[in-house]
Structure 1
Amino acid sequence: MGKPVEAAEPLKVGIIGCGAIIAQYLTNFRRLDQIELVAVADLDPVRAQAVADDYDGVRAVSVDELLAADDVDLVLNLTIPAAHADVALKAIAAGKSVYGEKPLAATTAEAQQVLAAAREAGVVVGCAPDTVLGTGIQTARKAIDDGLIGAPISATATMVTPGHERWHPNPDFYYQPGGGPLLDMGPYYVSALVTLLGPVVSVIGAASHTRNERTIGSGPRVGETVPVNIDSHVTGVLVHASGALSTLFMSFDAVKSKSPNLEIHGECGSLVVPDPNHFDGDVQLFALGAEDWQTLPVSAGYVDSGRGFGIADLAATPPGSEPRAGGQLAYHALEVMESVLASANSGSAVQIQSTAARPEAVELTTLAAQIAEVSS
């Protein structure tokens, strides 16, 4: 894939799932000429209708009607993780490409079914997070590619919060199988690590939890307790094919960390990388022999990007090529996370069976340039 280019025609998108996350997609869809939103559906028709009322040219329909619609090219799957595979498979069976919120599916077994069905149907699978396409991760990627830290040796990825129940009115699924800090937030970090350092070949993990129940801190269920049926503190070491070692620290138990969300260390320098849950942020370099950290100029990635840019990138990807925020990367990240948890349970290292090509870098691209660029 070369530099992403404008699709010949806007990709017509239908959204299934009209929960809180949809607002971020809608904001960016209005800015992206590559995408035309045509329909929305939700198990709650009122929520779907509210979106249609606020977005010109969009109709609220049932899930079955959306899947059958001739004018929907791609289904954006914003359902809960447990439903990701089922909705994706139905969309693929209807002959539509699909782009999902993370993770690709609740398990690698389900994700395999999705990718196999897509190959058979000749449609494309994309998956969040597309934060890796923003200027934060991509500027760090360029610094590595330009040799500013020499050969990468290691990375640390840190995500610490005392728990989503403190702010989320319905946090139950975070503490059930398929939830937890690694599967919830890990896709941002693992996708960034693969984008920066390449695929993972083996992992070893350990995990624990401190409480058997959590108390909801806001909303109509405030004070209600929910059971904890997963490990809420996970650590892991990822061995990359390049030989670099990444250390994960993902917690719903600890309170706060002063450590950067991502650090990359090489033989000639170290990088502080912005939060991979965000699209931008400063990249800092401490070069061997330097006296202080240096903030690098923004040099790569989609400028002023946000959720939905991965779909625009998919729309501009040549047929037969894997999108940068594609199913192969999402599957590899899911297998890495699932294997860290399996290793924590068994006490043994786990070999990663899948691989994913390190996605091609994103040149520094403004929104206007992205829309106007034409394939040469």
Structure 2
Amino acid sequence: MLTNLKEQPKDKILGLMAMYREDPRQTKVDLGVGVYKNAEGVTPVMRAVKTAERKIVEEQITKAYTGLAGDPVYSEAMIDMLLAQSVDKARLAAVATPGGTGAIRQAFELIKTANPKARVFVSDPTWPNHVSILNHLGIEMVKYRYFDAETRGVNFDGMMEDLAEVTGDDVVLLHGCCHNPTGANLNLTQWQSVIDLINDKACLPMIDIAYQGFGDGLEEDAAATRLVASSVPELLIAASCSKNFGIYRERTGLLIAMSEKAENTAIAQGNLNHLNRQNFSFPPDHGARVVATILTDDTLKADWMAELEETRLGMLALREQLASELQRLSGSDRFGFLAQHRGMFSQLGTTPDMVEKLRVDNAIYMVGDSRMNIAGLNKNSVPILAQAIVDAGI
């Protein structure tokens, strides 16, 4: 039977990482892999995480299973961080998941269970795993215009024109903040227009929020998600703790399902629990317990928020340095969008051939669609990247 298996497509980012490791050039720059790195090229363990882990080791008395939904203290703490007082919590069902990817997978499974005819509208471009999981599950995907390669901003008119085709059977997938891969985000006025369309079409919105705290601040990055939650009858939210808590390998995520009425919450919760049972039984607990420990301890939470803000401001400084250096070298302000984008990523808006030229000529590694991880830079590598971009004629 196993001889019938077909070779699966290679992961482009993992392939890029292998090429980077094998490149002997001392000036090589890795802008491909989507993890935060400090100036020394290390993804650090945050101070509050270390303290929380020590506390857990000292106080934990069992490694027995949690419930199917995970630790309720974790879910409650995450809901407070994401949604604050924007919605009646009695309408919310939630389950812990193996990372944000697990939350997205469970959300798509829930959609398929609720309506096998549902189509999912995704931004063009979007995070590749969105597309991969939808295809794997056999859910029809429809792309809507999002990124304008000329302005390197949001093509909002095109987006709204494409979303006008949505029906009540469909789902609109939105990035809560720090759009991946482009770094270009909707403003709150545009968000309100999207909400009005969603309500007019009676479709289901889904928000993927993986970078809260990496854009404009912890509260500011939640503003759009809270606005949607307070304005629509139903909502799915897939959240990740990988980036803002720096616990990538702990696989810590959360899926929230908001029902129109509180009396429907128990059914939604039962379905979420069922999906967890079918896919992995009980969700992993260590990362979730770390997050819960931090968010429920005022001192740890304050230290975590301070370090998260340092991380955010560091990435913003790199953006501003790169935009300034490109302006100096090119004599043009056409790269000003880099300082306006938010989060870890920006998309240059150039061709795969140009991306390959940067790799071959200058050891600059980025994904073929020209997505680059700003956190892969430091003060010394910014001038190298800027010069390479200008020399390539981008």
TM-score (norm 1): 0.32
| Structure with more of its chain in strand, by fraction | 1
| Structure with more of its chain in helix, by fraction | 2
TM-score (norm 2): 0.31
Higher relative contact order (CA 8 A, sep 6+): 2
